[in-house]
Structure 1
Amino acid sequence: MPLRRAVRWSLIAFIVLALLSALALWSWGRFAAGAQGDATQALPVAAADTRLDRLVQPLLDVHPPEASGAALLDDAVQAFVARARTARAAERSLDVQYYIWRHDLTGRLLEHELMAAAERGVRVRLLIDDMGSPGRDDALLAMDAHPNLEVRLFNPARNRAGGFRRAIEMGLRFVGFNRRMHNKAWVADNRVAIVGGRNVGDEYFDASDAMNFQDADLLLLGPAVAQTSVIFDAF
């Protein structure tokens, strides 16, 4: 009898959990449909409209059209400087995509570069995985309020306030909730791209007193940049 009772209660608990999970998926689906923005595309390059156009195009002209250029960025400080300087050089667009963006020293400095670019009239698109931006809704909404800067979150949680409710949502729709975007890309004027293993945070740029990662990026020119933009647009 105790075994039968345990099996019965286990079955009831499973049914209740399944119903709650289905309700959570339905509720999140309605939320996601309303939260999804319109599709946008990378801006096309030109021969000499921007400084990066004028810098990069002559380098590409002496190589076959299908050839891409790549430079290894294994030094963390150089990797940070490359992002900051390409942001300052951009005159057309900045497309930035990361799994983690910390609001620490290096994160705030690069946020400043994005805002400064938007102030100059550059179209800025920032895409961050929601798992890597907890508790930052107010700051991201403030950035998104700029007419030239758009912020989007990949697979956002429906419950925005409080870790407890967010944890319940994660438990009820674990498979969908765990679908994360680990891409890291920094694309300036659709001419120069930085891709690789680094997220944005002090520990990725040798700026943390506690721990720093040994990581690497590639700085890309040519068709590989267009391929990076295609992936960005798809996300």
Structure 2
Amino acid sequence: MPTSSSPAPQPTGGRQARWQPHNDRRRERIVTALIELIEETPMGVEVPMQQITERSGLSKSVVYRQFSGRDELDRRTRTAIGDRFTDDIDIALDISEGSIRVILRRTIAAVVDWIDSHPRLYDFLRHGPALGDPGDVDAVSSLKDRIAGRTRLLVSGLAGVVGVVDEAAADTMTFAIVSMTEATVSRWARDRDRAMGRDELVAELAGYAWSVLDGVARAHRLTLDPDEPLLAALARLSSVDTAP
């Protein structure tokens, strides 16, 4: 029992809570170091822990205490890389500005530029899971799910006004567009003898994505104008849909 002059012992959980922000900053520092090193290391070569500790400026013992093992560090790093990717996609997917065609091109251009500018990071995503993923799912697969969720703001809005109100149908349509785009851009980025330039690729993929949306609209006897501002199109089609 503590005496009246002795401070009461603090619960372990309280001490952990106080140290949590400090440890979070250390983990972020280590993950950032690994991302930088992946960008500088030949494709497919694992970055040694020694290099990670040196780049992060932390001692080896500190680095090892922040993670349960190399697997957790790699998973957290893949999650951080995916966050950077989706942050760029979020900016491009601003549905408040631009027509359907402009938004599609802007978003696909963001995908093309990111994958082409960070081939080593994208390759790293392909070779293991992110945080919270099953061990047999690579981070690119979960990343496509995340991007599809963000893209659904565009697709489900249109799907609702053209009659595809079923969430599963809207999700399937979105994922089909995202998967087509990712697979095509990845193949193009790996090709040393590119038969198609960046702008041409963006235009082609935007055209394919538009064809999917347009096909759904026509199946429901509605006509979409790809050059009409998206918000105006949604307002117009919604008023038509609700008109007596």
Name which one, 1 or 2, has greater alpha-carbon Rg.
2
Structure 1-normalised TM-score? Answer: 0.23
In terms of fraction of residues, the more strand-rich structure is 1
Structure 2-normalised TM-score? Answer: 0.23
> Which of 1 and 2 has higher RCO (CA within 8 Å, sep 6+)?
1
